[in-house]
Chain A
């Protein structure tokens, strides 16, 4: 495997597979924050101290524990600016790691469901991403990697405060579990704010993905736990699980109601968006996100039968600015980018369509 292996494809392998509740839940993510006792946290660590952390972690041979997996080490200074940006757009590394880290690195497995960041806000951040609604699986996998590291490394742990982290909002379990949801019907029927404000009442946070502030581009929302101390890992996961389960039911009910009450209008909206994406010459990222949300809904409702399920995910990633720039290997102005984006989407949709199977 090379660095290019991780930056060339818009879609991580894990996103291609079929998964439970994947018509509403795009992905489930679990992150564990861990620190070592031997050095200051990355915030204060000098370059040589950060390098020492990296060295200590490098000694842990994940490939030995996971015989069937292949883990790849990538140090941040091996990457070009563009490659960094693509990895950020694929959510494999955080903007924080790119901008603020000294001796930053990331460990990725082959299908990119595991990403371990070194010297981000904390010394170690283990992140596991699963397609669809698989919180427990994601936690199990992160937990196992955590055990492997713990065997070899001196963790900063306090009897009453739990795992010690740079930010007091992560102390305790160091666990952040989040679920990315596609909620177009709740947005269309204007129930979303009511539901989201209810969610924040029970210690969970919601934010829009790709959007700024509370605006959610492409109707994608991320629901995650806020509390990391005083609840066990199982409690945190179960709490999030049961709330997300309810949101899924609400979204499905809203979709059914839309189908019952205004099927023609819904069809019109979806096929219009499809037509627009198929023929547009210039499209900005905001509009693309909205239209792709319609496409995603159309596929999930069985309207665009000729398109496979991962199309919306793939196009969403492919049309991000960094990825576009990499794909066309040149520096693009915003307008050129909008032209290339439209071109990319057109060709992509064309590759799946021939008139006989289109309706």
Chain B
């Protein structure tokens, strides 16, 4: 079958488009598809920021599209002054405090990009001291549960003492 666009090359892409319940079939060649931007998954000059703003054009907290929001309804970062509306347009944050300001409404977006919403990598040594202790504590508690369920009580007692020691240390600080 020849491409229905140019009628010259053989068609290599066959797909069905459903727009508002109306079904249309396409048989076109790769060159025409690329021109029309119809290749699924192919990059077509969209910038990452404009893609992001597509995902962002909905404020889950307010339950409506942000373009319908009045400026005073949009939440504003107290540190740099960026509003959620502005952020959703440019897809970039103004300062580190924006993450706190916009809080949970970022989660759907971040999940969309990374498939995850929580960091599990490196922790800075100096500013992350508390976090490191907390993770260590969580890990110890997990080990304790495991030791108990495997009836290794001697090991469990050791871990329990370790946990106590750590908690005491934290309380002193």
By a beta-carbon cutoff of 8 Å, the part of chain A in contact with chain B is: 35, 37, 39-41, 43-44, 121, 143, 147, 150-151, 154-169, 171-173, 175, 197, 200, 203, 207, 213-214, 227-233, 236
Q: Does B21 contact A (CB under 8 A)?
A: no
Closest to B42 in A: A214
CA separation between A74 and B60, bound complex, in Å?
Answer: 45
- In Å, the complex CA distance between A35 and B127 comes to 13
Residue of B nearest to A165 (CB): B93
How far, in whole Å, are A150 and B128 apart by their CA atoms in the complex?
Answer: 10
| A residues less than 8 Å from B106 (CB atoms) | 168
> Chain B: interface secondary structure?
loop
Knowing A169-B48, A172-B114, the reply to whether A161 touches B94 (Cβ < 8 A) is no
Report Cα–Cα, A314/B42, bound state, in Å: 32
State which residues 71-102 of B face A: CB under 8 Å: 79-82, 90-96, 99-100
The interface residues of chain B lying within 8 Å CB-to-CB of A172 are: 114, 116, 119, 121
| B120-149 contacts to A (CB < 8 Å) | 120-128, 131
Interface code B101-121, partner A: CB below 8 Å = 1, 0 otherwise?
000001001100111111111
Q: Which of A35, A121, A200, A228 contacts B96 (CB 8 A)?
A: A35
Measured as residues with beta carbon below 8 angstroms from the partner, the interface class of chain B is 35 or more
B43 interface residue per 8 A CB criterion: yes
Cβ contact within 8 Å between A166 and B92:
yes
> CA A173 – CA B92 in complex, angstroms?
17
CB-based nearest A residue for B44: A213
A161 and B119 form a contact (CB under 8 A): yes
Q: Interface readout for B17-47 with A: 1 if CB under 8 Å, 0 if not?
A: 0000000000000000000000001111100
* Contact across chains for B43 and A173 when beta carbons are under 8 A apart: no
**With A156-B96, A164-B99: A171-B110 Cβ-Cβ less than 8 Å:** yes
Tell whether, in the assembled complex, residue A230 and residue B94 are in contact, meaning their CB atoms are under 8 Å apart.
Answer: no
Given contacts A44-B82, A167-B92, contact A155 B124 (CB under 8 A): yes
Chain A residues lying within 8 Å of B42, measured Cβ to Cβ, are: 214
Chain B residues closer than 8 Å to A143, beta-carbon distance: 122
Expressed in whole angstroms, the Cα–Cα distance for A148 and B141 within the complex equals 32
Q: Which of A40, A159, A227 contacts B95 (CB 8 A)?
A: A40
| Residue contact A213 to B45, C-beta cutoff 8 Å | yes
How far is the CB of B54 from the nearest CB of chain A, in Å? 13
Q: Given the complex, which residues of B lie within 8 Å of A200, measured CB to CB?
A: 41
Q: Which residue of B lies closest to A234 (CB)?
A: B121
B90, B114, B124, B125: the one contacting A227 at CB < 8 Å is B114
Inter-subunit contact A173/B41 (CB<8 Å) = no
Nearest Cβ on chain A to B45's Cβ, whole angstroms: 7
Say yes or no for B52: interface residue by CB 8 A criterion.
Answer: yes
Check A43 against B94 for contact (C-beta < 8 Å): yes
